[in-house]
């Protein structure tokens, strides 16, 4: 729906052509479009009656009604609005909101029809994205959410940026203008255009905020992520925890916008873990005088690899024979709390290990102070035991599924092999292949961008944590060298 001549019929004709519904591209001025089929329409180059067409696009069926823009046929538009699920309001970007657009917009308001605004004629002399958007805000009293930005305007118009995916689509220059079917899709990260990248990032952040204002669930998601992820360390560094690169970027941006803090986002770090390969024991004897009283406690702790279920936060505590019963229950509690605390505070959580309380002796009458001391010293003895053990670094291993067309399957598989991925299965789903694989998280940096350029944006993927797996010795050495700044 729109003012006369905004380009509804032309846009419809393009949709039919690009979706494969028609084989030739009709033109209003030549009088050969699909939806302007009446003789009078073809002669005058205007739409007089609404015409409905149905076509398929990316697995969706679209029922489209091309309505007339002339004021005399307003009733035709009203008729269509009664049966529609949604409307696309087409605007001439050099004119903004024109009179008849205002009329049909109000009609759509009356019928509570959701709307998409399409700024057409961005190539025309005098086209202005900013002015057109401003006119939508002012005249229609609407709050548009910007989903695309133009690249260039009027004579320089050559493409658009997808605000959500941060990809750009650029058509060939006007000189060798064809039917518009050929274009180049690239991630903005691969394009050296700092101004465009900044505008696109700003637009995306503004969009996230607008959606958060409209949708409570979405807002909670964004804010909840933020507060949970803000994990401060004693140093000048703050660790942001997130599920992926985009997640981290958004949190980083919110810190700037909402707290006014200029921060530098360091490279992404993987949450590695460490485990031990053999059993070791350490004895710690403590003898302290606090006030008048002497506290003496000896603790012997052992640690050994744990072969059972993965236990990330709760350690497995075992007692050596005869120890359990001989321990006063307060001391037992103190020891167990000590072991649990030392687990939770460890910088790199040590999973897959069990702690053995091998021996413990204390003076006869234990009081609260000796218990507290025991708790603290558990940490020291555990650290001593761990130091003696042979260690093994574990890395997060992800389950992944890539859905890709047959023609790009080879490229995706070759790329996964380079990322230390192992392919478990390749299934067929409709026209696509689904690759089921596992791959270390450390190899997945920038994967979404890379996959897009590898498959011209046709593939999709999902990723979830599967387990922690032992790294090979060369991989471990490379990682440790990198972490200690040797390479």
**Position 8 contacts ligand GTP (CB under 6 A):** yes
96 binds, among Mg ion, ligand GTP, none (CB under 5 to 8 A by kind): none
- CA distance to 13, 78, 90, 241, 279, per residue, from 85 (Å): 21, 13, 16, 40, 67
By CB under 6 A, residue 47 contacts ligand GTP? yes
Residue from 15, 17, 19, 28 that binds ligand GTP (CB under 6 A)?
28
Between the CA atoms of 373, 378, 379 and 384, what dihedral angle is there, to the nearest 10 degrees? 130
| Cβ atoms < 10 Å from Cβ of 360 | 21
Of 80, 101, 107, 120, the residue at the interface with ligand GTP (CB under 6 A) is 120
Our finding on whether 4 is near ligand GTP (CB under 6 A) is yes
By CB under 6 A, tell whether 449 contacts ligand GTP.
Answer: no
State the nearest-atom distance from the C-beta of 245 to ligand GTP, in Å.
36
Q: Is 412 in the site for ligand GTP (CB under 6 A)?
A: no
Residue 300 interacting entry, from Mg ion, ligand GTP, none, C-beta within 5 to 8 Å by type:
none
Q: CB 33 → ligand GTP: shortest distance, Å?
A: 8
C-alpha dihedral (383, 386, 391, 394), degrees to nearest 10:
-60
Q: Report which residue's Cβ sits closest to ligand GTP.
A: 69
Residues lying near Mg ion in the complex (CB under 5 A): 8-9, 47
- What's the N-to-C CA distance of the chain in angstroms? 61
Provide the minimum distance between the beta carbon of 197 and ligand GTP in the complex, in angstroms, as a whole number.
26
> Closest approach of Cβ 69 to ligand GTP, in Å?
2
Q: How far is the CB of 78 from ligand GTP (least distance, A)?
A: 15
Q: How far apart are CA 330 and CA 405, in angstroms?
A: 64
Q: How far is 214 from 114, CA to CA, in rounded Å?
A: 14
Instruction: Find the shortest distance in angstroms from Cβ 462 to ligand GTP.
Output: 37
Residue 257 phi, psi dihedral angles, 5° rounding: -70, -45
Window 165 to 224, contacts with ligand GTP (CB under 6 A): none
**Distance separating alpha carbons of residues 56 and 16, to the nearest angstrom:** 9
In the list ligand GTP, Mg ion, none, the entry touching 120 (Cβ below 5 to 8 angstroms by class) is ligand GTP
Nearest to 284 by CA among 353, 363, 358: 358
Query: If binding is defined by CB under 6 A, does position 14 make contact with ligand GTP?
Result: no
The residues pairing with 425 across neighbouring beta strands, listed in sequence order, are 436
H/E element holding 288? strand 280-290
Using CA atoms, how far apart are residues 174 and 424, in angstroms rounded to an integer? 47
**Interacting residues with ligand GTP (CB under 6 A):** 2, 4-10, 28-29, 45-47, 68-70, 120-121, 123-124
């Amino acid at each position: 729906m729109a003012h006369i001549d905004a380009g509804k019929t032309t846009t419809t004709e393009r949709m039919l052509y690009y979706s494969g519904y028609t084989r030739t591209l009709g033109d209003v001025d030549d009088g050969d479009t699909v939806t302007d089929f009446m003789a009078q329409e073809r002669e005058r180059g205007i739409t007089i009656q609404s015409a409905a067409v149905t076509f398929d696009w990316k697995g969706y069926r679209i029922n489209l009604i091309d309505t007339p823009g002339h004021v005399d046929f307003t009733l035709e538009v009203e008729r269509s609005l009664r049966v529609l699920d949604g409307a696309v309001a087409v605007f001439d970007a050099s004119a903004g909101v024109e009179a008849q657009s205002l009329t049909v917009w109000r009609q759509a308001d009356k019928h509570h029809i959701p709307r998409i605004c399409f700024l057409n004629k961005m190539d025309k002399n005098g086209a202005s994205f900013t002015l057109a958007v401003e006119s939508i805000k002012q005249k229609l009293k609407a709050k548009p959410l910007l989903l695309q930005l133009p690249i260039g305007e009027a004579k320089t118009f050559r493409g658009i940026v997808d605000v959500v995916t941060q990809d750009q689509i650029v058509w060939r220059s006007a000189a060798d203008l064809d039917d518009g079917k050929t274009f180049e899709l690239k991630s903005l990260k691969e394009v050296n255009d700092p101004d465009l990248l900044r505008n696109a990032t700003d637009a995306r952040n503004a969009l996230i905020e607008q959606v958060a204002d409209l949708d409570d669930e979405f807002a909670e998601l964004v804010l909840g992520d933020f507060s949970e992820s803000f994990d401060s360390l004693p140093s000048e560094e703050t660790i942001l925890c997130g599920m992926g690169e985009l997640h981290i970027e958004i949190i980083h941006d919110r810190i700037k916008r909402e707290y006014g803090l200029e921060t530098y986002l360091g490279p992404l770090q993987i949450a590695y873990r460490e485990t031990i390969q053999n059993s070791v024991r350490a004895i710690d004897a403590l003898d302290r005088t606090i006030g008048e009283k002497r506290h003496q406690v000896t603790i012997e702790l052992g640690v050994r690899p744990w072969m059972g279920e993965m236990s990330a936060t709760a350690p497995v505590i075992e007692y050596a024979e005869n120890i359990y019963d001989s321990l006063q229950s307060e001391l037992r509690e103190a020891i167990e709390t000590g072991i649990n605390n030392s687990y939770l505070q460890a910088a790199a959580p040590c999973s897959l290990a069990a702690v053995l309380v091998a021996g413990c002796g204390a003076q006869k009458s234990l009081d609260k102070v000796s218990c507290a001391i025991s708790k603290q010293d558990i940490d020291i003895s555990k650290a001593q035991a761990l130091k003696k053990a042979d260690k093994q670094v574990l890395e997060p291993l992800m389950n992944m599924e890539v859905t890709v067309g047959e023609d790009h399957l080879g490229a995706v598989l070759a790329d996964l092999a380079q990322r230390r991925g192992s392919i478990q299965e390749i299934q067929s789903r409709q026209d696509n292949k689904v690759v089921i694989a596992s791959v270390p998280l450390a190899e997945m940096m920038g994967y979404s961008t890379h996959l897009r350029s590898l498959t011209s944006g046709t593939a999709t993927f999902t990723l979830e944590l599967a387990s922690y797996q032992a790294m090979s010795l060369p991989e471990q050495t490379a990682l440790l060298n990198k972490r200690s700044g040797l390479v």
